[in-house]
A and B are shown apart, each in its own frame.
Chain A
Amino acid sequence: MLSSYFGPGSIVTQGTSPSFVAAVTQSVSLLVASGKTELSYVDEVLESLKTLGPYFVIAPGLALAHAKPSDSVLAPGMALLRLDEPVISGSANDPVSLIFSFCSPNASEHMEMLGDFGQLMSTDQVMNNLLNASALSVIEDILLKNAL
């Protein structure tokens, strides 16, 4: 179940963010705050963004921030920062409003999580509903209760 990977307080909506890097930092910090990883993972993600560019902006309006599996990670986890005002990442999929992040302690434990995530996000209207959701509860229903 996808919902089991979202720790307490790991889904946040807010008006805007100063930059894409700030939004990524905040999203990954939600993984830290919800107990999925240690703080050093934030730097690992930012380093990877610096080296590889915005490669994790994988669909129009959506980023999936992550770094390689690492010792900083305590458990497979996901988090989401949804912005009302999108930010610019430099990707062809700009502007970005949905900044997901994930972490995995090794190269296998997140396979099921990403499989479930991919299936949900490929479902008609899920992306639009997340982009346009008027309240946090609507987003939580989609991600945690699979209610579209």
Chain B
Amino acid sequence: MLIYAVCGAGIGTSVLLKSNAERALSMLGIEAEVRAVSIDEARGADKMAQVILATPEILDQLAGIPAEVIAINNIFDLGELGEKLKATLS
């Protein structure tokens, strides 16, 4: 299972999203690789992730990418992350 945590530059928000997604996944007992990438990297990736995590502002720019996109409003809310990941992955 490959998950992309995406933000504009692939440097700040995506890194935070990745580290908190990893925490949420480990609480759920789900094994997955989470990579922090920029929008451009997500669009041009050789190996497409099954799931993309992103903040609502950039959803438009992710349109057309063949992956399930999950919008995360509060990236510090492990409850929100866990629930949305669980709903998508199960």
Taking Cβ atoms with an 8 Å cutoff, the residues of A that contact B are: 48, 52-56, 58-60, 62, 64, 66-69, 91-93, 102, 104, 107, 110-111, 114-115, 117-119, 121-122, 127
Contact = CB atoms under 8 A, between A and B. Distances in A.
Given A56-B12, A60-B74, 10 more contacts: A48-B8, A52-B57, A53-B57, A58-B16, A59-B77, A66-B12, A114-B12, A114-B15, A114-B16, A118-B76
Interface of B: 7-9, 11-13, 15-16, 19-20, 23, 55-58, 73-78
6 contacts: A58-B76, A66-B9, A66-B12, A114-B15, A114-B19, A118-B16
B76 A122 contact: yes
Contacts of B11: 66, 68-69, 104, 107, 110
The 7 lowest CB-CB distance pairs between A and B, nearest first, are A121-B76, A55-B57, A59-B74, A52-B8, A66-B12, A118-B16, A115-B19
A52 to B, nearest CB: 4
A58 B77 CA distance: 11
A81 B77 CA distance: 22
B12 A102 contact: yes
A99 to B, nearest CB: 14
Nearest to A52: B8
Contacts of B12: 56, 64, 66, 102, 110, 114
A122 B77 contact: yes
